[in-house]
């Protein structure tokens, strides 16, 4: 199912920088953790370049980058194991 969602999101992000409204919004705040963990459980394939770029933009946002960094000590609690990246 994630492959189908990745394909759909990749097509949507082909013409967008952010999820809605042409600027960073609450939609991106909601998407960030979902894409962060979804990629851990089922990596986003190289062929979804637009989606991968969007995820990278989300990770580059200072607020989200700080949340990721501050949560780093809790990664061992991720049920599937955390990859050694991000």
pLDDT at residue 84 tops 90? no
Integer Cα distance of 2 and 10 in angstroms: 12
Tens digit of each residue's pLDDT (9 = 90 or more) over 3-15: 999 999 999 999 9
Residue 51, Cα to own-chain centre: how many angstroms? 8
Tens digit of each residue's pLDDT (9 = 90 or more) over 14-24: 999 999 988 99
CATH architecture for the domain at 2-77: Up-down Bundle (1.20)
Contact criterion met (CB below 8 Å) for 46 and 52: yes
Tens digit of each residue's pLDDT (9 = 90 or more) over 26-73: 999 999 999 999 999 999 999 999 999 999 999 999 999 999 999 999
Residue 45's contacts (CB-CB under 8 Å, 6 or more residues apart) are: 3, 6
What is the structure's pLDDT at 40? Answer: 95
Predicted TM-score of the model (pTM): 0.92
């Amino acid at each position: 199912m994630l492959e189908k969602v990745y394909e759909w999101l990749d097509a949507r992000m082909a013409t967008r920088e952010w999820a809605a409204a042409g600027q960073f919004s609450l939609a991106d705040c909601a998407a960030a953790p979902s894409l962060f963990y979804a990629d851990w459980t089922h990596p986003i394939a190289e062929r979804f370049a637009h989606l991968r770029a969007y995820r990278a933009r989300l990770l580059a946002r200072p607020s989200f980058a700080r949340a990721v960094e501050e949560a780093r000590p809790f990664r061992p609690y991720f049920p599937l194991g955390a990859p050694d990246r991000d």
